Amino acid sequence: KLDKYEENFEAFIGSIFHDVLEKCFNNDLDVSLEINNYIQEKGKILDVKEQFYLNKITNDIKEVINILKEQQNNINLDQALYEKEIIIDKSRDIKVEFKGIIDKLLYKVDSDKTVVAIIDYKTGNVDISLKYAKYGLSLQLPIYLYLVSKSKLFNNPSFAGFYLQYILDKDILRDNNKTYLEQYQDKLKLNGYSNSNVHILSEFDKTYSYSNLIKGLRVKNDGEFTKNSKVLNEEEVNNLINLTENIIDDDITKILDGDFSINPKQIGYKDKVGCMYCKFYDLCFHTEKDYVILEDTETVLGGEEDA
């Protein structure tokens, strides 16, 4: 009698955002009409509270679209794919496929390579730290890297960066040093990892030295990136792709072997991330000795400490 998945209203709102933003660079897009069409298509009946909230976020979506179009002025990549499904064949004795859907791929075809930037929209906060990637945590962006690199979508892809974009964040608090619009623009900056090769990065972000597009990205007077800039060199990106593939292959092997060992993860001695959102916690036969303790000092790429 396990629960089947049922989409809650928060998830439905996220789906609306994704649907509209997939089409937002169509100049003739009527946001309100698109939202109403989406609701009718899904057969969703909203109560009074949900309708009130939907009216509020309709205005939020319009603001987000305006800022996304402004951000486009800082981007050199001239082509895009939206909601792109990529399937990698991982078949063994039986057919196995690994599939992902990427919200936005921006790219530019050069003579011998394709510069690519990966962007995933989020309506909530997600930890993007790669410190625990080798344990299989926070792998969504690395998985997108893996999917693009192993697909035949682009010729010789070179990644300018991979990012999350928080499109429905908490309410903006008052800041006397910035206008409301400036704070909103800050919240919509991309949050993720950029290529430390400025020739590749500049193909994506024209303003990379003091970025108006990527959160925390700055270049010092000596030409080096600041300590808080999340940058990876191409070797580290390739290491991350290989790490992700190894984790995927290992998990496929375990599934095919029927190995579903109870080994939830715990960061330090406080955050039990393996059980935090599990609705079957009370039914599980795990004990304290089953927890795998992850140390805070772990890094996976041999690069920056916060990578």
Count of C-beta atoms within a 10 Å radius of residue 178: 13
Q: Which residues contact 173 (CB under 8 A, 6 or more apart)?
A: none
22 is written with which tokens? 């997939």
pTM attached to this predicted model = 0.87
Q: How confident is the model at residue 168 (pLDDT cuts 50, 70, 90)?
A: confident
Between helices 31-42 and 48-71, what is the axis angle to 10°?
Answer: 130
| pLDDT score recorded for residue 298 | 42
> pLDDT (tens digit, 9 = 90+) per residue, 110-162?
888 999 999 999 877 778 889 888 888 889 999 999 999 999 899 899 999 99
Mean pLDDT calculated for residue range 27-51 = 88
Distance CA 225, CA 8 (A): 42
What is the maximal distance between C-alpha atoms in the chain?
A: 63
**Separation CA 219–CA 29 (nearest Å):** 37
* Cβ within 8 Å of residue 78, ≥6 positions away: 108
Tokens representing residue 68 in the block? 């996304």
